[in-house]
Copies of this chain bind each other. A is one copy, B any other.
Amino acid sequence: MSRPVTGDAPALSTAWLRVFLEVARLGSFTEAARGLGYTQSAVSRQIHALESALGAGALFDRLPRGVTPTERGRVLLPRAEAVLAQLDGARADLTALAQVSGGRLRVGAFPTAGAALLPRAVAAFRERHPRVELSCAEGLTEDLLSRLDHGELDLAVVSTTAGADLAAYDLRKLLDESMYVAVPAGHRLARRRRVRLAELAGDDWVSGSPHTERSLLHPAVREDFRPRVGYVAAEWIAKQGYVAAGLAVALIPALAADGVRPDIRLLAVHEDDIPPRAVYAATLRGRSAPAAANAFVRLLREAGRNGSA
């Protein structure tokens, strides 16, 4: 009904095929046995087993001075070689996977990770495992997890912000991401290293959305801190413009803190005001991760340690 081929044909051992090829090459059961570490009787039996598994008809003519393949044997020869070649190829493929010198890896990451974390890990991965086909995609955490579910991604770099159900995935923590406030170089707090958000209650804010619920400011809002969003800009490069011009201040995740323009200062936000976000590498729950994914996670952690987080 379903499978077109491979009916109830008797199974056979690949050892038989190896013995078959060696016998054909050497023209002798005894010689082949010597070469393969078998007894002559074992070779004789294995050839007999192969002959009967393939149906009536001998594969070798037994001559007084060795053996010669019959017509059937000559026909089987290239097939047996192809079979063993495929098996060798399979083994090679698998060892390549184990040594992370083959296969592919599809990584997804939330946008901020693309600033420094991901590029660093990708660069290191490309250098160490150049033969792995690596592809990176950007997306929001929810979207990434969905693509993970659909088998479109092997690994997703996500953060705990969204309400997504991370418990349904295997997580490996990469880093805790703290938050900064970007202020213009001439700001009154510009010399400080750390601030409480209440100190900035009077400033105008530039944010990704006019509604704080949908922006980075969301976890910071409380009674004594209701930020006034004076400007809206989604891209960090635009936010920088407003900040540098002295019009507003802005929140910036630590992962995006690299390469900020020189006329802007970054002040660490107290973790009681905005708790650090955990950044995870997520894989499907219960699924064993590809070796390449494990190697990539290792490099992501390194990148997280070396970078500012």
Residues of chain A having any CB pair with chain B under 8 Å:
2-3, 5-6, 9, 11-15, 18, 22, 25, 35, 54-58, 61-64, 68, 70-72, 75-76, 79-80, 82-91, 93-95, 97-98, 103, 286-288, 290-291
A79 touches B93 (CB 8 A): yes
Q: Tell me which residues across on chain B come within 8 A of A68, comparing CB atoms.
A: 287
Out of B35, B55, B79, B85, name the residue touching A98 (CB < 8 Å): B55
26 residue pairs of the A-B complex, CB under 8 angstroms, read: A2-B35, A5-B84, A5-B88, A6-B18, A6-B84, A6-B88, A11-B13, A11-B18, A13-B13, A54-B90, A54-B91, A54-B94, A55-B91, A56-B98, A57-B94, A57-B97, A57-B98, A61-B288, A68-B287, A71-B97, A71-B288, A71-B291, A75-B103, A79-B93, A83-B90, A86-B86
Q: Judging by beta carbons under 8 Å apart, are B75 and A86 in contact?
A: no
Bound complex: CA A58 to CA B287 (Å): 11
The chain B residue sitting closest to A88, CB to CB, is B5
Q: How far is the CB of A223 from chain B (nearest CB, A)?
A: 46
Contact A93 B70 (CB under 8 A): no
* Nearest Cβ on chain B to A249's Cβ, whole angstroms: 47
Given A88-B6, A290-B71: A14 and B15 interface contact (C-beta under 8 Å)? no
A55, A58, A75 interface centre (most CB from chain B within 10 Å): A75
Q: Is the CB of B76 within 8 A of A90?
A: yes
Question: A79 contacts which chain B residues (CB < 8 A)?
Answer: 86-87, 89-90, 93
Contacts of A71 in B (CB 8 A): 97, 103, 288, 290-291
Are B11 and A70 in contact (CB-based, < 8 A)?
A: no
Q: Are B93 and A63 within 8 A (Cβ)? A: no
Q: Pick the most buried of A3, A58, A79, A95: most chain B CB atoms within 10 A of its CB.
A: A79
Q: Is the CB of B13 within 8 A of A70?
A: no
**Most B CB within 10 A of own CB, among A6, A56, A63, A85:** A6
